Amino acid sequence: MKYALHEMNNQSVQNSVRKSREAKGLSQERLASMVGLARQSIISIEKGRFLPTVENALRIAEALETTVETLFWLSEEAD
């Protein structure tokens, strides 16, 4: 699906990393170790303050035995 740049401005990336991580019984520290990131990076990703690279998103999805699309999606921002 193609979007014009002005159509994407009100969208933000949401994620379910925390929910998925907790469902697997993993600590932030354990997930970070599994994917080669710092625990602080996992915290920032879960809180939506930091977007992982594509490579790291794929590693997180693999570690959580799910898909990137399940973990990350575009959502309309509230004005």
Select from 3.60.15.10, 1.10.1670.10, 3.40.50.150, 1.10.260.40 the CATH code of 12-73.
1.10.260.40
Q: pLDDT, tens digit, for every residue of 63-74?
A: 999 999 999 999
Decide: 67 and 61 in contact? Cβ < 8 Å. yes
Q: What local confidence, expressed as pLDDT, does residue 10 receive?
A: 77
pTM: 0.83
Spatial separation of the C-alpha atoms in residues 29 and 75, rounded to whole Å: 28
Q: Which candidate, 55, 19, 23, 25, places its Cα nearest to that of 37?
A: 55
Domain boundaries, the chain: 12-73
Residue 54 is encoded by which pair of tokens?
A: 């594509």
